[in-house]
Amino acid sequence: MASIVASAHAGRGSGGKGPRGLHVGIGDDAAVVDLGSPAVLSTDAQVQGTHFELDWLSAEALGRKAFLVAFSDLSAMGARARWALLSLEAPASMSMRRGRALLRGFVAACRENDVALVGGNVAAAPRLALTVTAVGEAHRSLTRAAARDGDDIHLVGNPGDAAAGLELLAAGGRRGKLVQAWRRPPCHLQLGRALSRNVGVGAAIDLSDGLVLDLSRVAAASGLGALLDTDRLPLSRALLAAVRGRGGLVNEALEYALGGGEDYLLLFTARPDRRSRNSIASLGRRHGVAISRVGSMDSSLKAGSVVNTRGQALEGGYQHFLTSRGARA
């Protein structure tokens, strides 16, 4: 397996062929790379049995997803992604073919985003786990604490699809847009960088644990409340169709959107003036994504709270969501 990691990335050494800025790559005690300061660092893991089951996605898709989930944090900081490290735990029984497919998916996602895999580790373990360290450099960091009173809240993409897809997978489903939303989170590295250069933009976060919970984190860090207009949430046709197909109501789709995790959508706040709104609409067009204005930050609300337009406090998040689902199933 170690040799797979070593061979996965062609670029090595200080010669001309490797990725730009790579002094020492995989094969020495550590990688030595150029990196602008401040540096942006994040680590995330995908663990079999906790985050996925082997038959939920191909090995290649899993390698890609491990990259996307880890680098989603860098998008949400507005960082430029540069380098990746991958620590793999794998059963000794795992085939070389499967190992190669995992790495192929991971490295393909690296290449598409101008990131190089420069560190690897392989350890035997009873279950598969991929721990990824994402390394980048900051322009201006879009911290969670940078939201301002009155800021618009913008959301990129359709919330709830991945959580509904996860539920389908757990129930034996293997196809469709919702499953695909779970399998392949969006990648907003380019958009995140563009947002960090936009002076109107304040805070940002990627939605890993559910819209309400993650928005409450932005609110708490910024010392503000968040007013969320749930009527403006861009529920996907696929989600609405799935809920209707089993006789459910729109409210049920909303539950996925508010409480479902693993969306990895980008949420950010920005000045509410027309110029800022226009510039964000233009960014959406340029990057080919749907950006929805779904609420505003409000200092008159309790810090850390998320409230709907009827003044009701919303609660949620991945844990809550799972429990309520489970209780109803």
CA distances from 78 to 190, 201, 212 (A): 8, 10, 21
Among 9, 80, 98, 144, binds a second copy (CB under 8 A): 144
Tell me how far, at minimum, the Cβ of 320 lies from a second copy, in Å: 16
Name the segment binding a second copy (CB under 8 A); options: 94-102, 123-131, 172-180, 241-249: 123-131
How far apart CA 107 and CA 109 sit, in angstroms, is: 5
Tell me which of 111, 127, 197, 285 binds a second copy, using CB under 8 A. 127
Burial (CB count <10 Å: 0-12, 13-18, 19+), residue 243 = buried
Q: How far is the CB of 155 from a second copy (least distance, A)?
A: 16
Measure the CA–CA gap between 280 and 198, rounded to whole angstroms: 9
In the block, tokens 């950010």 appear at: 268
Q: Which is nearer to a second copy, 133 or 190 (CB)?
A: 133
The residue from 110, 189, 204, 228 that contacts a second copy (CB under 8 A) is 204
**Footprint of a second copy on 212-271 (CB under 8 A):** 221
Do strands 291-298 and 152-156 pair parallel, antiparallel, or not at all (unpaired)?
antiparallel
Between 40 and 163, whose beta carbon lies closer to a second copy?
A: 40
| Furthest CA-CA distance within the chain | 62
- Taking Cα atoms as reference points, which of 24, 56, 21, 54 lies closest to residue 36? 21
Report the residue number, 126 or 223, with the smaller CB distance to a second copy.
126
Site residues for a second copy, 39-68, by CB under 8 A, read: 39-45, 47, 49-51
Q: Which secondary structure element, helix H or strand E, spans residue 292, and what is its range?
A: strand 291-298
Residues between 79 and 118 with contacts to a second copy, criterion CB under 8 A: 79, 83, 85-87, 89, 118
Distances (CA, A) of 211 to 15, 52, 55, 123, 154: 46, 21, 27, 35, 12
Instruction: Return the residue matching tokens 């061979």.
Output: 7
Contact 144, 76 (CB under 8 A): no
Buried b or exposed e, range 249-259, using 16+ CB within 10 angstroms: eeebbbbbbbb
Nearer to a second copy, 127 or 232 (CB): 127
Q: Which stretch binds a second copy (CB under 8 A): 70-78, 152-160, 294-302, 318-326?
A: 70-78
Nearer to a second copy, 66 or 238 (CB): 66
* Site size with a second copy, rule: CB under 8 A: 59
2 or 250: CB nearest a second copy: 2
Burial label for 327, CB within 10 Å (0-12, 13-18, 19+), is exposed
Residue 131 interacting with a second copy (CB under 8 A): yes
Q: Which stretch binds a second copy (CB under 8 A): 93-101, 139-147, 273-281, 287-295?
A: 139-147
Q: What is the DSSP string of 100-164?
A: HHHHHHHHHHHHHTT-EEEEEEEEE-SS-EEEEEEEEE-SS---GGG--TT-EEEEES-TTHHHH
Minimum distance from residue 152 beta carbon to a second copy (Å):
20
Smallest gap from residue 124 Cβ to a second copy (A):
5
Residues forming contacts to a second copy in the complex (CB under 8 A) are 23-24, 27-45, 47, 49-51, 73-74, 76-77, 79, 83, 85-87, 89, 118-121, 123-127, 129, 131, 133-136, 138, 141, 143-145, 204-206, 221
